[in-house]
Structure 1
Amino acid sequence: MRFRSKKGFLMMSVVILVSTLLIYLLFSSLENTQKDLSIWIPSIILMLVVPFLLIWILIQTYYVLDNDELKYVSGPIRGSIKIADIEQVVKNTTLWVGLKPATARNGIIIRYNNYNELYISPYNNEKFIEKLLELKPDIEVQDDEDDIFPTSID
């Protein structure tokens, strides 16, 4: 089963802002530079590749659950995790560091192989977790990070 990724405001803003800025810089630098191609070619490549990659990630981010694997695709970032290795799922949270083939906040952290984490942002967290639990019912599901790391010591 294939799950689309949410498109968050922050990601949309970054894509639009960076793309607009780089395309503006490209055209303004082409107007103001000399007619030397050795200066233009690296500028053109850099200022077109970055927006292309950001838009590619925004458009092509999805997750596939099949019988034994969770596959993720986020532009050029692709990979898979064996469902048998998944130990815990933390929903409605955000992971700021680590592998994040995601385009929104308030997604799901998948913990697997004892110490590895993957952050994804399916369009509907509940449906994704429901399907994942059908494939492996003994996965521990927590609502957010506060349940795992309490802020006060009793």
Structure 2
Amino acid sequence: MKIYKANRKGFINYLLIGSLILPIIVFYLEKSTFTEKPFILLPLLSPLILIFWIYFDTYYKIENNKLIYRSGFLRGKIEILNIKEILKGETKWSGIKPALARNGLIIKFNKYDEVYVAPENNDELISDLIKLNSEIKITE
């Protein structure tokens, strides 16, 4: 079993910083409300918890001839023998996207299925997948 860390560059970092600063700004603008009713801060912290969960729980691994991806609530398995093509250096803006950065890999499998992943090192993941299925077509 080999685990590939997710690439954590780009917009996710700005989203994380913004979600940290927003509750602090709201708290300082209206201190009296939060000292009287501290439970009001909970709706501001909920998105922060979700973003932290996705940020720290995104990874990919190869285990038992399957590529397993996990990103917060997005989880799945792909049979490596069913992978037809990998588009390298692409970014997918819709569909299943358990990734935190751009310029990752679009993995096409089965007949019409595809998933976008963005590991720290695209080439390492591609080479390990090709070792298990040499018929994968790589498109750059």
Q: Normalising by structure 2, report the TM-score.
A: 0.87
Q: Given the alignment of the two structures, is residue 78 of structure 1 paired with residue 75 of structure 2, yes or no?
A: yes
Larger Rg: 1
**Alpha-carbon distance change, 47 to 141 in structure 1, aligned in 2, over 3 angstroms:** same
User: 1:64 corresponds to which letter in structure 2?
Assistant: K
Paired with 1:72 and 1:121, the residues of 2 have a C-alpha distance of 10
Give ranges in structure 2 of 5+ residues lacking alignment: none
Paired with 2:60 and 2:99, the residues of 1 have a C-alpha distance of 10
**Aligned ranges for residues 5-154 of structure 1 at < 5 Å?**
5-26=6-27, 28-29=29-30, 31-32=32-33, 35=36, 41=39, 43-143=40-140
**Alpha-carbon distance change, 27 to 78 in structure 1, aligned in 2, over 3 angstroms:** farther
Residue-pair matches, total: 139
Task: Give the CA RMSD over aligned residues.
Answer: 1.9
CA drift of 1:2 comes to 0.7
SS of residue in 2 equivalent to 1:88: strand
User: What is the match of residue 151 of structure 1?
Assistant: none
Paired with 1:19 and 1:141, the residues of 2 have a C-alpha distance of 39
SS of residue in 2 equivalent to 1:45: helix
- Greater CA deviation, 111-120 or 101-110? 111-120
- What do the CA deviations read for 1:7-33 (whole angstroms, capped 9, x no partner)? 112111111112311443356455336
Give ranges in structure 1 of 5+ residues lacking alignment: 144-154
Paired with 1:66 and 1:91, the residues of 2 have a C-alpha distance of 22
Q: Normalising by structure 1, report the TM-score.
A: 0.80
Contact kept in structure 2, 1:23 and 1:48, CA below 8 Å: no
